[in-house]
Structure 1
């Protein structure tokens, strides 16, 4: 590029409630991006439409640095401002935070809140992986209280039982794999293989009928408002004919993640797989990939979590499938054209140099992020 690309670079992380339903998005700005720039970007019509109805949690290092004229024009109800407890020692900061709360922004205090939290108009506590907020802090504010960087399900349970409401971190991808016998796992891999080989619809039907959970989710999906068919769809033949092969294949790939969990709650891997797949497809299109290449990029994104879903090594899974070599190299080693894209969409905070290395502008990458998150939000509400 002839001029520096100064477009803000942001990472986004899903924040879920205790039932693993997405409740908000935590914003992870690149260190060079100021809070004012983050708020201005997220307030634009495209992000507002793409990320609705989720609120965005934005870290604010210095509330006094926020431009009052700009914040007055923002859709305050869509933002949660995360401020450090230490900054509230300053009376001017408390006064500014209270004014922001009065405008409609929700404030979360990072760390032990104390008396200054309520004096600042804060609503809840944000707390990291270690320790736990005091019961007094949790009870003195209405919430929601957010536990971030939650490592595993044991920590999730402890935070939930202590009174936290929102959760984020790797715990969602470290749940104990559901009990599954060899027959079910073999059937699942057979279905993946048939999809990859573009098998005949009747072959797919035969396998689907052997898996009641997948059968249920597919028919529930095609009869949902997302597709708007006027007449009920009762069998797989109808579903295949009405959806079309390409659309059906994509939804089946995602429905693999909709298998019931031991605790009956939604599988948190589902929306994340959808997000990766849709963003991979968008990035491939931006690079000039045709429809077939976009489909392969989508497959690489949606299959990238199968090792965690099935609790199996990725090499073993890939060996059971017939996949394009570029998809295989992406899944196994994060190499090749799709591997570079996959590695980028997996980063918590995107690397501007990696974006440029792929021949993309930061704004183009942001557009791909919005497409990925928007589709994931739709999927999480449909399946």
Structure 2
């Protein structure tokens, strides 16, 4: 599989204004529902895709996202990765409602999370236990006759919940549901699920296990950062995740270390566990040649920056990020402008990636000229930089290549 997929179906208000999306697990570029054999795995895939691979702002805009949350997900630590302002946790009534489940739901509600009950066709004692917790009840209007629907709506109005008409397939159904007092609507009459896709760059389980070990062993940020540096796709994923969760940051994210610090060790651990849950096995175990080039580029950019400003660690880190991001448009199938917009990186990094301008941009031009074997351009750029001789450049190229080769298995 060469891409990641994510389904989303609009949820509208009484005036057909968009108010939310339901986010759906998809395995291919089709509107048809994917076959789900493991609810937790499907939900984990939706979360990883929405927050890390697509970026939540890109998926939801200013709207909320309804995410299917089964019993295992509700009871897991994964939930805390999801900012309460973005999501509505959509639950189906579990076979058994335990005291622990109710307590967890109440705790999450106290933290600002909202719940929706999914596919309701009648009220029973189990549902009555959950109604005080939920904000939205999704009623399957397709499964009910006119009298049954009216009776159910009348009963639900005893609770302070919003009613969402699910599976609306005709104008007549919409009118009927409006007359009954439904506030929200979802169904094929309004829109079928849209399937979004992004090019796949799996970090591979071995890399994630190495990271998991480093974070679990409480090693310092430097060791964790080193492992991320061997994984361009994973580094991009991390920065997207931090941007998605943190929203409008007062400062730009300018390094992997910065992103790790903002996320925090505990959240980082949960995110790696989530990625492990959703990462498939690579087909042949062979690292992508372009991924290898991206890693090498990052290290070479870092080493050039270290010659220019030996004591400016921040400059070195920014140079590394520019190096690995410079190929991600090709690796991910996303325009570089979109990558820059989504990551919220500093201005000099944007200038380097978009226009090959500024000190970082000149260094990137040098690296690209070298990859193309353009000796004239290399001499010209080195002269313009003024701090690096051809011999020194050859020396750090060997260093960068050796470092990239030591990373071993990049894609797995």
Short-chain TM bin: 0.3 to 0.5
Q: TM-score, normalised by structure 2?
A: 0.38
Q: TM-score, normalised by structure 1?
A: 0.41
